[in-house]
Amino acid sequence: MGWFTRARYSLRDARRRRRFDKAWNEGARTAKAGPHSLVLVLDHPKPGRNPGAAVRSADVFGARAVYMIGTDHFDPTPAMGTLNNVPVRRFETFTSTFAELAREGYTLLALEPAPDFDAPQFLHQVSLPVKTAFVVGNERHGLSFDPAAFPNVVRVSIAHYGATSSLNVATAASIAMYEYARQHGRLG
């Protein structure tokens, strides 16, 4: 990558960070937990558009909060103002996130592609606990931790039937939160 391309990416990243900081500061004052005991955990997401789209879906499905691990900003444009509605908390590591959620009595469900398992457990076949936290990994690298190393982390997959082995992160999070709302939904 040449110097011009690097400079262009640096400028774009600086603009994105400023927009995020403005939305973050405003949301920190106004955001309130949604009506469901549902938490979305974004595990080291790329700081692009997917986290914003996932935050928007978390607001739509009434999530209590979004926990973001290892990323300090993202493009807030897809969130379309929902950073003012749903609390977003930042964490440095999955271990600290896990400790917080386990202390609060949450069951964590790590979303992973079905081809990674011999006998996957599919989301639509799981009876979701009221206190559910969905963990969605990085778009390229997946989860930053081994789910087997943490008690109360259940691996689940979203059934799909085409040739592509995985879904977009924001799409997978939206499907999971929809399934939670289908099982536990109540009017906000």
We report the CATH number of the domain holding residue 146 as 3.40.1280.10
Predicted TM-score (pTM) of this structure: 0.85
* Residue-number span of the structural domain to which 72 is assigned: 3-184
Burial code (b: 16+ CB inside 10 Å, e: under 16) for 100-131 equals ebbeeebbbbbbbbbeeeeebeebeeeebbeb
One DSSP character per residue, 144-158 reads: SS-GGGSTTEEEEB-
Q: Distance between CA atoms of 68 and 88, rounded to whole angstroms?
A: 7
The DSSP secondary-structure symbol of 40 reads: E
* CA dist list (Å): 151 to 18, 155, 156: 38, 11, 15
Helices (H), 31-163: 50-60, 94-103
Written as tens digits, the pLDDT of the chain (188 aa) is 554 444 555 666 777 667 666 765 665 667 888 899 999 999 999 888 889 899 999 999 999 999 999 988 787 777 777 878 899 999 999 999 999 999 999 999 999 987 656 677 899 999 999 999 999 999 888 999 999 899 889 999 998 888 777 788 999 999 999 999 999 986 54
Using an 8 Å Cβ cutoff, are 29 and 88 in contact?
A: no
Q: How many domains does the chain have?
A: 1
